[in-house]
Amino acid sequence: MTTATVSGKCILVVEDDYLLAREVCNDLQEHGATVLGPAPTVHYAQLMLGKRRIDGAVLDIRLFGEDVYRLVDQLIDDRIPVVFATAFDKAQIAEKYRFIEALHKPICLKSLREKVAHFKPLPQSANDKLDKEPPLERVKPRESQSLSERWAAVLVRAMKDGQF
């Protein structure tokens, strides 16, 4: 049995399925974690991150048709541990990211908490596993939009694009 806990950790949750995202966020919060999110897109994840320090991230790989890999690169460059929460099989994950642990949907929340509880800053060598791409620019939020207005805009855009 493990004595590690999620209590006191700050975790970014990036998931486009709102019900699953809320379930993950609520569970982590009930066990003492501070949660940033849920973020339904890479863009909103960047907005939430800003200059905050986090202890780790739980990421879906495909968000409204967009891959999350550039965000993964940024997090690994910052030595932040990541776990994928995905419906993808190992073979569907881009080859250079297969070293990252993945929990497969439907997610066992206890298993997720165990992974999060053991998050530690990544060694510098984790950067060597990735081919470098240009870093993502940090995006500034629009002050006039609330989080719920941003979620609504994302959902409307996804419906227009036929992703729902």
- Where are the alpha helices (H) located in 15-88, listed in sequence order? 18-30, 42-49, 69-77
- pLDDT of the residue at 101: 95
- pLDDT of the residue at 123: 76
Q: What whole-number distance in Å separates Cα of residue 72 and Cα of residue 59? A: 9
- pLDDT of the residue at 164: 46
Three-state DSSP class for 22?
Answer: helix
Q: Are strands 62-63 and 66-67 parallel, antiparallel or unpaired?
A: antiparallel
- pLDDT of the residue at 104: 94
**Which parts of the chain sit beneath pLDDT 70?**
1-3, 124-145, 147, 158-164
**Across the chain, how many H-helices and E-strands are there?**
5, 7
Positive/negative CA dihedral, 141, 8, 16, 96: positive
Q: Is 118 exposed, middle or buried (0-12, 13-18, 19+ CB in 10 A)?
A: middle
- pLDDT of the residue at 1: 45
Contact 23, 111 (CB under 8 A): no
- Domains identified in the chain and CATH numbers: 10-160 (3.40.50.2300)
CA 104 vs CA 27, 107, 108, 109: distances in Å: 17, 6, 8, 11
CA 87 vs CA 1, 59, 104, 119, 142: distances in Å: 28, 11, 5, 22, 32
Report phi then psi at 103, rounded to 5. Answer: -100, 135
- pLDDT of the residue at 67: 95
